[in-house]
């Protein structure tokens, strides 16, 4: 009987509590004060080995795991064999070695458990290792054998070739892939940054080419190593030295990436694709990573189209007018040549010209008006707050140091850049827009069905029609 009386009382109390304003006594979020963002960087130790391999290490004893990354500098193959680097990298991992053939290797790593993976591009190949501390010696032995003695079995080479050839045959299936690939060609011309893997180039690669790729680049004095996790410097020095015993240095001569020259003359380009959408890309060549104005350019683009839903292009094209499924911009810097500025949108064919014109208007607006002080401060705060994730793991910090070393940039660049971002003014952003946004150099590319376009593309300039191959 007491329980029956208690229930109505509890209901009444809850009703009173819910009726009270939930925000009573609380400050509005805009009035909340937070301490300044502070990033604490752990101690980074330099590490080197008698065979010439050098790198960085951060101890982290919270979890009994170890992460290792070894980056090898590489270079573009001949254009006639483009795709060699991807092929060789895949076969090294998936072909294994004489002692650790593919099936045995995969079974062992799965049993431990541990990871040994290869990834990269034309200018580098990285080997990533993750394992439990107790398995470190065993995994390092596997790693050393796969890196120094890969077997490159013919059946694995052919399997990867078949997969690459199938991807090539399907390269024109997705309009997004088409617009990005062909836009890159328009901007870079015959520079290696625009080269693509083709049926002839893949087919021409031989096992001897792959062996030569390995012998040329996979030497210890061409490697940058990064280590983080539950291991001390003396421990890892001993284990790695023992695992890689007999790995000898080689002569390494890495060519300089060719200069790109200036942006090509402005053109308007069209590619037919039987779709009801239009894919738009427009822009010009960007900047080098060492450019002193890189931070101003980054924030300028963040406001223009790189800052997600708060950016001008996204707001004007997508949110206000509903013209595009996606609309953004990017302004990339490149450590070896120059990157790309591009603004892009995926819209309906019947609205393409409106979306294109709004994007052009926002670029012009950035050049003529620039952002407000409030827009600048919000952009800088948002961008800097996002950088905290670069420090969320020791392994991530080590990878960043490896990349900076590989690119030939000062290791304190991220910390120096954060100070530069915080000091930017509206005048800095306006100056960057005037200098690095060139309306007279814009290359425009539209992929779609011109019969569905709301206006002829020729109204934006003389049209160059590109035939897909």
Band of pLDDT at residue 35, cut at 50, 70 and 90: low
Band of pLDDT at residue 11, cut at 50, 70 and 90: very low
pLDDT the model gives residue 3: 40
Q: Measured between alpha carbons, how far is 75 from 82 in angstroms, rounded to an integer?
A: 11
| 268-465 to CATH, choices 3.40.1160.10, 1.10.8.100, 1.10.10.10, 3.30.830.10 | 3.30.830.10
End-to-end CA distance of the chain: 84
Query: What would the pLDDT profile of 288-320 be if each residue is shown by its tens digit?
Result: 999 999 999 999 999 999 987 889 999 999 999
Local structure of 245: helix, strand or coil: coil
Band of pLDDT at residue 325, cut at 50, 70 and 90: confident
pLDDT the model gives residue 385: 87
pLDDT the model gives residue 10: 43
- Cis? peptide before 26, omega within 30° of 0: no
Among candidate residues 282, 287, 254, 286, the one with its CA nearest the CA of residue 268:
282
pLDDT the model gives residue 183: 98
Please count the CA atoms within 13 angstroms of the CA of 285 that sit on its side-chain side: 21
pLDDT the model gives residue 9: 42
The structural domains of the chain, with segments of one domain joined by +, span 45-243, 268-465
For residues 335-358, give the mean pLDDT.
Answer: 97
pLDDT the model gives residue 1: 38
pLDDT at 388 over 80: no
Q: Measured between alpha carbons, how far is 419 from 425 in angstroms, rounded to an integer?
A: 13
Local structure of 224: helix, strand or coil: strand
pLDDT the model gives residue 87: 98
pLDDT the model gives residue 307: 86
Its pTM surpasses 0.75: yes
235: exposed, middle or buried (Cβ count in 10 Å: 0-12, 13-18, 19+): middle
Q: What is the CA radius of gyration of the chain?
A: 27
Q: Measured between alpha carbons, how far is 126 from 120 in angstroms, rounded to an integer?
A: 6
Q: Measured between alpha carbons, how far is 430 from 366 in angstroms, rounded to an integer?
A: 7
| Residue environment code for 122-153, b if the CB has 16+ CB neighbours within 10 A, otherwise e | bbbbbbbbbbbeebbeebbbbbbbbbbebbbb
Please give the structure tokens belonging to residue 285: 């060549």
For residues 7-18, give the mean pLDDT.
Answer: 44
pLDDT the model gives residue 453: 97
For residues 327-334, give the mean pLDDT.
Answer: 96
Instruction: State the average pLDDT for the chain.
Output: 92
pLDDT at 240 over 70: yes
Please give the structure tokens belonging to residue 347: 């819209």
Long-range contacts formed by 30-33: CB under 8 A, 24+ apart: none
Phi first, then psi: give them for residue 404, nearest 5 degrees. Answer: -65, -40
Do the two domains 45-243 and 268-465 of this chain adopt the same fold? yes
Among candidate residues 172, 363, 357, the one with its CA nearest the CA of residue 283:
363
Domain 45-243: assigned CATH number: 3.30.830.10
Query: What would the pLDDT profile of 99-117 be if each residue is shown by its tens digit?
Result: 999 999 999 999 999 999 9
DSSP state of 263: P
Please count the CA atoms within 13 angstroms of the CA of 217 that sit on its side-chain side: 26
pLDDT the model gives residue 74: 98
How much of the chain exceeds pLDDT 70, in percent? 91
pLDDT the model gives residue 39: 55
Please give the structure tokens belonging to residue 35: 């301490």
H runs (alpha helix) in 189-291: 199-204, 207-217, 233-243
pLDDT the model gives residue 262: 86
Please give the structure tokens belonging to residue 449: 């069905």
Please give the structure tokens belonging to residue 233: 């410097």
Query: What would the pLDDT profile of 117-149 be if each residue is shown by its tens digit?
Result: 999 999 999 999 999 999 999 999 999 999 999
pLDDT the model gives residue 34: 53
Identify whether the C-beta of residue 299 lies closer than 8 Å to the C-beta of residue 380. Answer: yes
Local structure of 269: helix, strand or coil: strand
pLDDT the model gives residue 24: 52
Residue 276 CB coordination number (10 Å): 10
Query: What would the pLDDT profile of 449-467 be if each residue is shown by its tens digit?
Result: 999 999 999 999 999 999 9
pLDDT at 321 over 90: yes
């Amino acid at each position: 009987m007491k329980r029956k009386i208690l229930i109505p009382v509890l209901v009444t109390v809850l009703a009173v509590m819910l009726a009270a304003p939930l925000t009573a006594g609380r400050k509005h979020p805009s009035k909340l004060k937070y301490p300044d963002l502070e990033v604490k960087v752990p101690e980074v130790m330099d590490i080197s080995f008698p065979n010439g391999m050098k790198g960085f290490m951060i101890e982290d004893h919270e979890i009994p795991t170890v992460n290792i990354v070894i980056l090898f500098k590489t270079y573009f193959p001949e254009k006639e064999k483009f795709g060699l680097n991807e092929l060789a990298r895949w076969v090294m991992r998936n072909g294994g070695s004489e002692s650790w053939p593919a099936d045995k290797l995969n079974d062992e790593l799965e049993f431990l458990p541990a990871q040994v993976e290869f990834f990269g591009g034309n200018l580098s190949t990285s080997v990533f290792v993750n394992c439990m501390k107790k398995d470190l010696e065993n995994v390092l032995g596997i790693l050393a054998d796969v890196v120094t003695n890969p077997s490159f079995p013919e059946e694995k080479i052919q399997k990867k070739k078949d997969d690459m050839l199938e991807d090539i045959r399907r390269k024109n299936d997705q309009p997004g892939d088409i617009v990005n690939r062909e836009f890159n060609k328009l901007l870079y011309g015959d520079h290696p940054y625009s080269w693509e893997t083709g049926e002839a180039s893949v087919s021409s690669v031989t096992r001897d080419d792959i062996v030569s790729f390995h012998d040329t680049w996979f030497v210890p004095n061409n490697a940058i190593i990064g280590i983080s996790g539950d291991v001390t410097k003396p421990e890892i020095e001993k284990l790695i030295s023992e695992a890689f015993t007999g790995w000898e240095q080689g002569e390494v001569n890495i060519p300089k990436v060719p200069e790109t020259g200036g942006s090509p003359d402005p053109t308007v380009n069209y590619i037919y694709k039987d779709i009801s959408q239009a894919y738009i890309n427009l822009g010009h060549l960007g900047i080098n990573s060492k450019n002193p104005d890189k931070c101003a350019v980054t924030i300028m683009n963040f406001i223009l189209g790189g800052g997600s839903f708060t950016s001008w292009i996204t707001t004007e094209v997508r949110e206000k007018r509903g013209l595009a499924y996606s609309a953004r911009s990017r302004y990339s810097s490149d450590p070896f040549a120059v990157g790309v500025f591009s603004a892009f949108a995926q819209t309906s064919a019947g609205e393409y010209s409106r979306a294109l014109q709004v994007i052009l208007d926002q670029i012009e607006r950035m050049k003529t008006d620039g952002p407000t002080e409030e827009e600048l401060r919000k952009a800088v705060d948002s961008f800097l707050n996002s950088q905290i994730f670069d420090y969320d793991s020791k392994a991530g910090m080590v990878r960043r140091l490896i990349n900076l070393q590989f690119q030939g940039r000062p290791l304190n660049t991220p910390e120096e850049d954060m100070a530069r971002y915080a000091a930017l003014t509206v005048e800095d952003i306006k100056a960057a827009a005037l200098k690095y946004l060139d309306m007279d150099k814009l290359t425009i590319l539209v992929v779609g069905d011109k019969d569905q376009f709301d206006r002829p593309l020729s109204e934006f300039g003389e049209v160059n029609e590109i035939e897909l191959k």
